[in-house]
Amino acid sequence: MNEAAERLNYKFVRRSQKSAPAGPSTILFIADEVSTDPWMPLAFEGARDRALNLGTNVLMAGSHADADIELDLLASVGMRDLVGVITAPS
């Protein structure tokens, strides 16, 4: 990949990133729809970029507005490991 990028004179974007803070360092971003809503990826990227500047990761999941799926997502990630949750309805 690097060789192809060099041949195309492509410059990789280098974002500054802080080290993860001690303790929880993940935010869960739950969107109703990802593939059919053009704004969700943009909202996620904004949250992710800001979080990375603070040393925090963001995970994205789609729930299709199903409360049971959202509860399963929270259980699988583990609430104690989360800084917070962003819910983004369509």
State how many domains the chain has: 1
**Model confidence pLDDT, tens digit, residues 64-86:** 989 999 999 989 888 777 899 99
Q: What is the CATH number of the domain that holds 28?
A: 3.40.50
pTM over cut 0.95: no
Domain enclosing residue 58, as ranges: 2-88
**Model confidence pLDDT, tens digit, residues 3-54:** 877 887 777 666 555 665 666 789 999 999 888 888 999 999 999 999 998 8
Task: Please give the full DSSP string across 44-70, using - where no structure is assigned.
Answer: HHHHHHHHHHTT-EEEEEE-TT-HHHH
